[in-house]
Amino acid sequence: EQFHSRVAKLLYLAKRVRPDILTAVAFLSTRVQVASTEDWIKLERVLKYINGSRDLGICIDMSSGVCVLALVDASFAVHIDYKSHTGGIISYGKGPLFVKSTRQKLVSKSSTESELIGVSDMLPQVIWTRDFLIYQGYDVAASKVFQDNQSTIALANKGYSTSDKTRHIAIRYFFVKDRIDSGEIVLEYLPTMEMTADILTKPLQGALFRKLRKELLNWE
């Protein structure tokens, strides 16, 4: 009960002002029913990190204009049931307005498939955000969705499998192409080292964690 309560409180905090702990909390959330001593130690580590960085938060910057930007990444087969993990960020410039770090609902058979599932799962929120701005009277260009897997980008743009290894991917994920063709989104490549959403897919440490945390929070 103590473990469940503290994880729930951290999840509330992570989704609003401290997305830098969202990955850790997302993994802890999968353990609330079967928490062990090892899980409790991990929870205490997150609590110590939060207490040692209370001055951090989120800074929103829209100086670049009204344009919906999304970064989507996935870690392949990282869970005990071999499901992959999706991380996503939506912003209007700098600083996150929406963050996501969650286990995928399907077992994928390749990293390309897991990335495509991640993009597919993030698109409804991206489209909703763009539509919301349009309904407020803003002239909004196509949303830019950034990905670090070029095979995934090629698969989404073509709208069909390019090899035997990807023929098993469910057809429903190809609605991504429909959104590209309608001009609602543009799928662009972003090198892995510049993919801020990487911090939302796996545990990171040291200089790389601090670098991506700064980009995620946009906090000086």
CA dist list (Å): 29 to 38, 43, 53, 100: 14, 10, 22, 14
Per-residue pLDDT tens digits for 166-209: 555 666 667 788 888 889 999 999 998 899 999 999 988 899 99
Q: What is the pTM assigned to this prediction?
A: 0.89
Per-residue pLDDT tens digits for 41-68: 999 999 999 999 999 999 998 776 678 9
Sign of the dihedral defined by the CA atoms of residues 107, 109, 115, 120, in that order: negative
Strand partners, 187: 145
pLDDT at 44: 97
pLDDT at 124: 93
pLDDT confidence bin for 216, thresholds 50/70/90:
very high
- Amino acid at site 11: L
Q: Cα–chain-centroid distance for residue 24?
A: 13
pLDDT at 177: 85
pLDDT confidence bin for 129, thresholds 50/70/90:
very high
Report residue 47: phi and psi, to 5°. -65, -40
Structure tokens, 102:
């969650």
Per-residue pLDDT tens digits for 14-44: 999 999 999 999 999 989 999 999 999 999 9
147: helix, strand or coil:
strand
pLDDT confidence bin for 88, thresholds 50/70/90:
very high
Report residue 96: phi and psi, to 5°. -80, 135
Q: What is the dihedral of CA 18, 70, 149, 175, to 10 degrees?
A: 130
Q: Average of pLDDT values for 95-106?
A: 92
187 within 8 A of 71, measured Cβ to Cβ: no
- Amino acid at site 160: Y
Q: Where are the beta strands (DSSP E) in 26-171?
A: 69-75, 85-91, 98-103, 143-147
The residue whose two tokens read 């709208």 is 159
Is 80 exceeded by the pLDDT of residue 164?
A: no
Percent of the chain beyond pLDDT 90? 63
Structure tokens, 140:
């909004």
35: helix, strand or coil:
coil
**Cβ partners under 8 Å of residue 187, min gap 6:** 119, 145, 147, 153, 156, 157, 176, 180
- Amino acid at site 166: T
Q: How many other CB atoms are there within 10 angstroms of residue 42's CB atom?
A: 16
Is 90 exceeded by the pLDDT of residue 155?
A: no
C-alpha gyration radius of the chain: 18
Q: How many other CB atoms are there within 10 angstroms of residue 53's CB atom?
A: 13
